[in-house]
Structure 1
């Protein structure tokens, strides 16, 4: 089994394939990540940071900074992951203070990134040392790989709102890569509280998970450092 997972405001959405040929699939969603990865023994690619640094430099983790170089105008879609101690603070001022004290040059965090902390903590708390079978990926980096290594011109969102043309283009890229049309019809039937961009991103994560299974995924960096828990800090595409 292979799956790709993306987070939405109230939970997580997963696209699963039985095999890398992507013919047999299923779609799942839950407000708890453990429902999707607990007991799952296959390959998982998830759009959420894995490996939290003790301190950060300019641009966040090495993988954050390096993967942006592949994204062209979509570089802002990769945020700089702050220090682990900042992520585990219970309020925004404390998180900013901890981020300032564990970054060089000193850097606060945005409210947008702060609101992702519960999901980062949720994943981090479920990862065993070594994270066997679970890999961090990023949708825009996956779409670059799907696009022959070229950045996409059309944004997925404009001013925080879904861009229909950008979403349609990404969907076509995945269809051209072999994902079945029936999968997208099933994704279209998900509850409206799951954004269309999150559904397409989950499909992109599943495509990346297939590439990991087949041994043809690209990892940035190729020789990744590990965090204090031994979790690899690399982004797959």
Structure 2
């Protein structure tokens, strides 16, 4: 019985969509305060596909890490959802001003940090520290991006509807993504239509479900990384954004 998980950050910490490979009825949603709690859950997921950057650069060239530069052109109008992650020094900065100063000093051309990107730095630091402390997890935890998963589910075509508009879920875009999850046949309909648990929003759940499709594909020998093969950062952490094999 192989369990896998799709994971996204949420207000309460992390939301995970868990499922046994080949057993859709086993699917469930959990919320945990730490990513380690998901990795060490009773299900012991063999693959954890998480919507959070893994592998930090010491210095950035151009518009972010190589995975970000490769993925953006595929996503059309959705490419702004792929943040440019700055250097490790900037990610570990104490405040926004220091993060911007360090990012400027460690990028070419010099780039500051976006407020939205800065908001996820604590989650990036958490996963970075976890994988560096527990290298046994490096072969289990994969970086994913929901819009790249939906690109694959949509036959390699960028979606024409946003998921959110001005920070608020956009129902036509949410419906489109739920329809793609349903059409994939990978997840039970009850899971796709379930409400988010306390501490998580509807779009957090949707992103975790997108990650779950990638985790299921990886567990059965699939998956495609950007770049291929993945790179490594200075601490040996993998540097790639993964998605599933295109279904059409």
Give the shorter-chain TM-score range.
over 0.9
Q: Does 1:110 align with 2:114?
A: yes
1:138 aligns with 2:148: no
**Structure 1 position 148 matched with structure 2 position 155:** yes
Aligned to 2:102: 98
- In the alignment, which residue of structure 2 is the partner of 1:42? 46
Report 1:133-212 matches (<5 A).
133-178=140-185, 179-185=187-193, 187-188=194-195, 190-191=197-198, 193-212=199-218
Per-residue deviation, residues 202-222 of structure 1 (Å, max 9, x unmatched): 001001001111222121111
Residue aligned with 1:6, SS: strand
Aligned-residue offset at 1:77? 0.4
How many angstroms does 1:24 deviate by?
2.1
**1:11-22 equivalence runs, <5 A:** 11-20=13-22, 22=24
| Distance in 2 between residues matched to 1:30 and 1:37, nearest whole Å | 10
Deviation at 1:41, TM superposition (A): 4.5
SS in 2 for 1:2: strand
Confirm whether residue 86 of structure 1 aligns to residue 90 of structure 2. Answer: yes
**Greater strand content:** 2
Deviation at 1:69, TM superposition (A): 1.4
Structure 2 CA distance for aligned equivalents of residues 203 and 181 of structure 1: 11
Displacement of 1:113 in angstroms is 0.9
The answer to whether the 8 Å contact 2:57/2:87 transfers is yes
| Contact preservation (8 Å) 1:7, 1:47 | yes
1:236 equivalent in structure 2: 242
Query: Which secondary structure state, in structure 1, belongs to the residue aligned with residue 175 of structure 2?
Result: helix
CA distance in structure 1 between the partners assigned to 2:7 and 2:161 by the alignment: 23
Query: CA–CA distance in 1 between the matches of 2:25 and 2:176?
Result: 21
- Normalising by structure 2, report the TM-score: 0.91
- Report SS of the residue matched to 1:67: helix
Q: Contact 1:20 / 1:213 at 8 angstroms: preserved in 2?
A: no
2:26 paired residue number: 24
Q: Is 1:221 matched with 2:227?
A: yes
CA contact (8 A) 1:100 1:108 kept: yes
Say what the alpha-carbon RMSD is for the aligned residues.
Answer: 1.4
- TM-score, length basis structure 1: 0.95
2:69 aligned to 51, 61, 65, which one? 65
Aligned counterparts of 2:98 and 2:50: Cα–Cα separation in 1: 27
**CA distance, structure 2, for counterparts of residue 49 and residue 181 of structure 1:** 29
SS in structure 1 opposite 2:58?
Answer: coil
Q: List alignment gaps of at least 5 residues for structure 2.
A: 244-248
In the TM superposition, what is the alpha-carbon distance from 1:10 to its structure 2 partner? 3.0
Q: Aligned pairs, how many? A: 235
